[in-house]
Amino acid sequence: MADDPLTPGELDLAALGAYAVQDGFLLDLITLADEGISTSVGLLVNGMIVLGAISSPSLAAGEVDAERRRIAGMSRQPEGMPDVEWEQTQERFATANATAFERTEAERRRLEEEVASEARRSDGPVNPAGVRGTLARDMIAYGARPFLTLREVQIVAPGNRGIANIAVLRVAVGQISAWWVIRHDETGRASFPLFEEPGRADAGPGPLG
């Protein structure tokens, strides 16, 4: 049956598809960002150093929707369409990604409640191998994070003396070859020394807020 518990082979295939090149420690920080707890990190991506704070994907959705709203503002109202209908159409177009993100978050909360209920019934952690197939697949799929969202980003590229500053950046997790946590001081600020020549300490830090 389609909803029978997954076989060991099916579980392995689902996990391979979801967790390929995924780091459990980084996934933990991304999960914290889902709850509004942001962590500053440094990433090595295709030879570039990327510094920023892991944040909710809602920021990326807002960036894309801002562009959609600009496009909506340049569109012409179709002839014969009532003003109210045109305004509603424009608003749906301009908030498409925020709406999709809200649906995803609602599904995440539903899944968390279902897993919590399953844990109470089994009196312990839920193992995907022991639950019905659809729940196991949802658990595995939700656990994967193919992209992460960074805010207040600074990028240092080889051969460039300057720093690129970007408000919001999406990074493919599979392109990250190394990463590290950037610690905050007692005032809540974080900094990271970019490059220093041996015997010199004048390279200066890269501030992160």
Domain contains 205: no
Domain contains 203: no
Domain contains 1: no
Q: How many domains does the chain have?
A: 1
Question: Distance of CA 167 to CAs 43, 60, 133, 209, Å?
Answer: 16, 10, 40, 12
What pLDDT was estimated at residue 206?
55
Domain contains 27: yes
Domain contains 3: no
Which pLDDT tens digit goes with each residue over 5-49? 767 667 666 665 655 546 889 988 998 998 889 899 999 999 999
Looking at this protein, which amino acid is placed at residue 197? E
Query: Which of 56-65, 95-104, 141-150, 173-182 is predicted with the least confidence, judged by mean pLDDT?
Result: 141-150
Say which residue, 132 or 191, is predicted with more confidence: 132
For residues 65-78, average pLDDT: 95
Entry pTM: 0.73
Which pLDDT tens digit goes with each residue over 176-205? 999 999 987 777 676 666 666 655 555 444
Domain contains 209: no
Say which residue, 100 or 127, is predicted with more confidence: 100
For residues 122-132, average pLDDT: 76
Q: Please give the residue range of the domain that contains residue 189.
A: 8-194
Domain contains 158: yes
What pLDDT was estimated at residue 120?
85
65, burial (CB in 10 Å: exposed 0-12, middle 13-18, buried 19+): buried
Query: How far is residue 203's CA from residue 44's CA, in Å, rounded to a whole number?
Result: 19
Which pLDDT tens digit goes with each residue over 77-109? 999 999 999 999 999 999 999 999 999 889 888
Query: How far is residue 125's CA from residue 127's CA, in Å, rounded to a whole number?
Result: 6
